[in-house]
Amino acid sequence: MAGGHRAGWLNAGIAWTAAIYLVLPITIILPVSLTDRRFLSLPHEGLSLQHYANLIGSPAWTGAIAQSFWIAVASTVVAVVLGTLCAVGCWRLSRRSTEIVRALMLLPIIIPSIAYAIGLYRYFSRLGLLDSFLGVTIAHGVTGIPYVVITVSTALAAFDARLESAARGMGASLSQTLRWVILPRIMPGIVSGAIFAFIHSWDELVIVLFIASRRVFTLPRKIWDGINENLDPAMAAVAVLLVVMTVLLLLLDLTLRRRRDG
């Protein structure tokens, strides 16, 4: 009994140590973003919001935020449409070959990002998609598909196939069954996939470094260039905004999951 109690405390200690190790670098960003100095540092004499003001007043930073947002929105639409159709198609066919298709859809998150980015660079250079909004949107949309496939497939696993049979038996066409019966019941899975696809595009850097240059300048790319050129504390302010948006989206996903399970 005492041995089991000690093991429980040990496991809890390891879990908390791992959590602190993961969260500590994120918590340091906040005081750095409020520094009163002109370089990345903890506050010296007091807290200051000057770097947030510089961020809001800088066309370069606001332009990068706007580009990242619209690319994330557009790529999320691509990922949701293609990922949902793929998941529903594999679910309806339910053959061994569909497992191969589903596995292929997961390749973008299995293959190292740098290897995928090199391939995209060679491919997009021939199509004239380098350094273009469309090119980055397609790249982020394709790499966001696996998140949608996973969440929608999970939702379909809990779907009662008798509802589809009943709808078809009452004369509903395939498109009507999909629109009125299947999609409403797997919508939490679709929304979860959309959230993760958006976060993926919002934070993605490696692919952008390879296929974008000056016309497409996303927020992660702007932060990367800022690290190489100078240590402007505005980068810490941007990092705080990135973390806040990511946390809010994850909380939204958690809320939707609780409503679905409830």
Residue pLDDT, tens place only, 25-76: 778 888 888 887 777 777 877 788 888 888 888 888 889 889 999 999 999 9
User: Does residue 252 form part of some domain?
Assistant: no
Backbone angles phi, psi at 47, to 5 degrees: -85, 150
pLDDT value for 156: 87
Helical H segments across 158-180, by residue range: 161-169, 174-177
pLDDT value for 229: 66
Number of compact structural domains in the chain = 1
User: Does residue 115 form part of some domain?
Assistant: yes
Q: Supply the range of the domain harboring residue 206.
A: 60-229
pLDDT value for 261: 64
- What CATH number is attached to the domain comprising 70? 1.10.3720.10
User: Does residue 38 form part of some domain?
Assistant: no
Residue type, 216: V
pLDDT value for 230: 65
pLDDT value for 142: 93
User: Does residue 50 form part of some domain?
Assistant: no
User: Does residue 36 form part of some domain?
Assistant: no
User: Does residue 2 form part of some domain?
Assistant: no
Low-confidence ranges of the chain (pLDDT < 50): 1
Backbone angles phi, psi at 2, to 5 degrees: -65, -35
User: Does residue 196 form part of some domain?
Assistant: yes
**169: buried, middle or exposed (CB in 10 Å: 19+, 13-18, 0-12)?**
exposed
User: Does residue 49 form part of some domain?
Assistant: no
